[in-house]
Structure 1
Amino acid sequence: MITIPYLTALTTYFSYGLLFVFGQFRDFFRKIIDWWKGSNLHGYAPICLGLEDFYTRRLYHRIQDCFGRPISSAPDAWFDVVERVSNDNNKTLKRTTKISRCLNLGSYNYLGFAAADEYCTPRVIEALKRFSPSTCSPRADGGTTTIHTELEESIANFIGKPAAIVFGMGYVTNSAILPVLIGKGGLIISDSLNHNSIVNGARGSGATVRVFQHNTPSHLEKVLREQIVDGQPRTHRPWKKIIVVVEGIYSMEGELCKLPEIVAICKKYKACVYLDEAHSIGAVGKTGRGVCELLGVDTADVDIMMGTFTKSFGSCGGYIAGSKELIQYLKYSCPAHLYATSISPPAAEQIISSIRVILGKDGSSRGARKLAQIRENSNFFRSELQKMGFEVLGDNDSPVMPIMLYNPAKIPAFSRECLKQNVAVVTVAFPATPLLLARARICISASHTREDMLKALEVISRVGDLVGIKYFPVEPNKQHHQGDRAKLE
């Protein structure tokens, strides 16, 4: 549940309403002009209808300089941002030769492995020389190397599962696996704020999909009871299979999943648990083993454990960990394993090496220090933002901390002003979030020093005052002041 001040909700609705009205007027006159000029495409159906690309034309194009900013260095604590210019009101952007050195608050480089590492980098270079950048083949053909086998063993041991299978892309891990695990006659119960890859995977499975309120175990139990009683649509036969899909850390909210309660409910109703740990594996837990370790849940109680290597491990791809029977079945039937090119060998070596560092198998304590640093940095940064009066989502220990912006005009204002002061932030708006809940998503790294964070806090505080997004003004002897607020799910 995200709350929004009544006045903020009113002004946000008004802004979007104004945008819609004037946009419709402009589209109306454009249609008249197009009709008057005639068209050589008479009789052809338009590829994009007016309403389908309305948001893109009327809002996104005007602020697209805030998105997709190219960089020309490794995504470390600081990186080089390439400046762009536009000569057509932001419809197209051209790169310049000017580079700005910016503090990076947007990359998923949670443990700092995305930059050159004294242990990982030499081993990755050696793997590149030995195996080449690509296998040029699917895993089922000639795309399985000794590194791939070692990687799957390392992941299974790290996660605490009997076996694992790896894929070359994290998004595909969800979207291609769910249709293999369940089909017609099955039931998927998904958290309302699950990632788009889960949504697409669930839709493509052919199974019936039901949604429960975000991170609300009581509503999950209600949905489970109702669906078990009703059974399949029309026939009311028992479900062939029920899978409950949740995330360890929700990428747009920074919240930890209420995993112990959800696991208990799924055990009670004999439903399988599918846990997406894209943002939690390697980032939380005493030894970096994710939310199961952090929240004290036995991995044996989670049937399917999914994660990606694009965050804490500084690489690419994803994995599924589970029973040996499950993994063997996926290797025989998953299209992403049978037809897609296998993960690059140097990328696989990067993952293996980073796991060794996390576990201290490199002969040092750097992994433990990184884990302690990301936890300390995350909690410090979140608490300081809250003290300043920002509305910050998420839980302690989570390296993801969204700052609520709400109003569409504040999306480009916040992003551009931060960039002017050499702080690069990521702003997120519709359709990645609900229309009224635009935000800036801060991602903290273990590679950020205390000086880096103090600079970022100083800039964000100054910009927050300028843009007007400190929705909890700090009063004397009070940390937060909350007025009347309207609730939005």
Structure 2
Amino acid sequence: MASAAEIIYTATTTTTTTTTTTAVVPPTWDLVTQKLADNFVYYLDGLDNLPGGQIILRYIKSSYKNDPVRSLFELALFIFALNYFLSSKRRENKSEFVKFSNKEIDELVDEWVPEPLIDDINPYEKWQLDAVPEVKGHNGSHINIDGRQQVINLASNDFLNLNENSTVKEVAAQVINTDGVGACGPPNFYGTQDVHVRLEEDLARYLDGEQSILYGQDFVTAGSVIPAFLKRGDLCVVDSGVNLAIQKGLILSRCDIEWYDHNDMIHLEQILSEIKPVLDRQKPIKRRFIITEALFANSGDLANLKTIVELKNQYKYRLFLDESLSIGTLGKTGKGLVEHCNIPRVEVSISIGTMANSFASSGGFCVGVTPMIHHQRIQSIAYVFSASLPPYSAKVVSQAIKEINDNRNAEGESIIIKSLHDKTSYVHKGLSKILKTSNYFEIVSDINSPIVHLSLKSKYREQLELPKIYGNSELLIKGKPAKYLNPFNDYYNFESFLLQKVIDFILQNSNILITRSKNLVEHENLPVLNPHLLIHINNGVNQSDYQKLLDVFDLAINKVLNPINNENDLFELTNEILNY
């Protein structure tokens, strides 16, 4: 048989004398490939004797079509892949393999020191843990803490005191007896029960929405709803005073962010008008949202909803409203800021809230039109991948809504909501009168807020050389969170400690517990306001108890803050902080 490199042909010429002449002709590429094809098929005939060989042979013959190079290349790839997957799992680099004796292994184990999961507590902030009261027994308007009896609790978000409502407790116990304490699965699978469906209907009906959806945890609600509708390239115009949950949701969505000054409608309109020509030229049209809170958790003031709705309609935006603190506290029947401002719920595209405040339960919710709710059931991260709300928690919220709706006066106002409004107004007016001549504190929250925010006055803060804000502003400037956490801030720690001394004085002299804002500056993405004293109004506390607080409040702030007049006095608190 001739080689592939040289093909020999014999040419025969007939003359008078028979003569045979042999000529050697250089091979051409076509001849070489033809010969390779013949030889390739010849050797492949042996595949007939292997199991499944006929199938392989039929594939090769039908695929190469006079192109043996292609088939050889495929065969080489197949052999390489087969060798790679079969040998990689057992192949070891024996030159780097070290075998240890049992003694050496024990020594290495003894020497190994694992890295801590969290950093050690800074000794200058350890007092913050020690200052957290330990509640003995149930949590309500009157509690037992640290061995004290019947402390008046003005540090709870259970504004309507439904946590101590006997009917609410009874329905919770009934569901626990029949369904247990957990749903044991995500909503889209087997985690949805009849009480969840009923609650979604109750919430939609109560808040004048088409449908609603439930979330097992309230903090993740904003962080799941926002990314479900906003993606990279979409636009959000956001109030710079929003809470941390909204901040995290915006970061997760990767959308473009424009920040307007907190509750500044002039600045909001300026931003909307400036970016309108740019947006109008872009194709396809971006999704556009205005995002704000109804009752701001960090400052206690109300969003100017009427103006925001006018602007969003004028510039064709959708409105996302966080009503976590306003639902159950604002409006004649507790329907939130939309009822307080007499604006139809349909003007708000997406409303979210928590069920852990006025509804005395847990979890979060979102209310809106039907397509928006259906979209979340397949696109919202926390809904798809998280466990459902416990059944008894859902039943408690349904009963809470019933308690609010069924007890109304002649004017159609909910009796328990009106009671909260009256007590809020009483405390606000009493504190305003006390602080009118005070050098230290001022009220910064809205008169309708069930949480009264008290801040150190600007003049006094300047006297102590405290900064106007804490943290960084990279998210405001660049639209992206800072690469590194904020460092520990001594001034924020000192200012918080001053407030804690006021809290302790009031507790020791009146058995009334109030609290303060507890933002972690190290983890905040937006600049942080100075810490506030917080007084949470509760329906379970009577007017005489609030008067008791008013009587001791002026004495407390003067007793604590009179000795602190400058920055040096502030830093002299270091020993108190370390020995708290």
Check whether TM > 0.5.
yes
Matched with 2:427 is 381
Matches within 5 A, 1:71-470: 71-81=135-145, 83=146, 98-115=147-164, 117-231=165-279, 240-360=286-406, 368-389=414-435, 390-405=441-456, 407-421=495-509, 422-431=511-520, 437-468=530-561
- Structure 1 distance, partners of 2:112, 2:182, is 44
- What amino acid maps onto 1:66 in structure 2? A
2:130 pairs, out of 65, 69, 79, with 65
Q: Deviations over 1:144-168 (max 9, x none)?
A: 1110000000000011010000111
- Structure 2 distance, partners of 1:46, 1:266, is 49
Matched with 2:67 is none
Q: 1:47 to 1:332 in 2, by over 3 A?
A: closer
Q: Deviations over 1:98-151 (max 9, x none)?
A: 344311111001111112x13222112111112111111110111111100000
- Give the structure with the larger strand fraction: 1
Q: 1:322 to 1:150 in 2, by over 3 A?
A: same
> Is the deviation greater in 100-109 or in 191-200?
100-109
Matched-pair contact (CA < 8 Å) for 2:279–2:286: no
- Structure 2 distance, partners of 1:152, 1:254, is 28
- What amino acid maps onto 1:402 in structure 2? H
Matched-pair contact (CA < 8 Å) for 2:352–2:367: yes
- Structure 2 distance, partners of 1:381, 1:400, is 10
Structure 1 SS opposite 2:136: coil
Matched-pair contact (CA < 8 Å) for 2:210–2:370: yes
Structure 2 SS opposite 1:142: helix
Q: 1:430 to 1:102 in 2, by over 3 A?
A: same
Shift of 1:282: 1.1
- What amino acid maps onto 1:419 in structure 2? L
Shift of 1:229: 3.3
Shift of 1:79: 1.1
- Give the structure with the larger helix fraction: 2
Q: Deviations over 1:266-303 (max 9, x none)?
A: 11111110010000001110111111011111111110
Shift of 1:195: 0.8
Matches within 5 A, 1:38-57: 57=122
Q: Deviations over 1:22-56 (max 9, x none)?
A: xxxxxxxxxxxxxxxxxx899x999889xxx8xx6
- Structure 2 distance, partners of 1:118, 1:109, is 15
Q: Deviations over 1:214-238 (max 9, x none)?
A: 1111111112223333449xx9666
- What amino acid maps onto 1:126 in structure 2? Q
Highest RCO, 1 vs 2 (Cα 8 Å, sep ≥ 6): 1
- Structure 1 distance, partners of 2:269, 2:198, is 40
Segments of 5+ residues of structure 2 without an aligned counterpart are 1-110, 436-440, 462-494, 565-580
Q: Deviations over 1:431-454 (max 9, x none)?
A: 369666121111101222111111
Matched-pair contact (CA < 8 Å) for 1:254–1:401: yes
Matched-pair contact (CA < 8 Å) for 2:420–2:538: yes
Q: 1:238 to 1:404 in 2, by over 3 A?
A: farther
Structure 1 SS opposite 2:535: strand
- What amino acid maps onto 1:244 in structure 2? I
User: TM-score with structure 2 length normalisation?
Assistant: 0.66
- Structure 1 distance, partners of 2:408, 2:419, is 18
- Structure 1 distance, partners of 2:414, 2:134, is 32
Matched-pair contact (CA < 8 Å) for 1:231–1:239: yes
Q: Deviations over 1:380-423 (max 9, x none)?
A: 10111111114012112210111114634412311221232322
- What amino acid maps onto 2:188 in structure 1? A
Q: CA RMSD in A?
A: 2.9
Name which one, 1 or 2, has greater alpha-carbon Rg.
2
- Structure 2 distance, partners of 1:167, 1:328, is 14
Matched-pair contact (CA < 8 Å) for 2:517–2:533: yes
Matched-pair contact (CA < 8 Å) for 1:185–1:239: no
Matched-pair contact (CA < 8 Å) for 2:211–2:369: yes
Structure 1 SS opposite 2:213: strand
Q: 1:367 to 1:265 in 2, by over 3 A?
A: closer
Matched-pair contact (CA < 8 Å) for 1:253–1:400: no
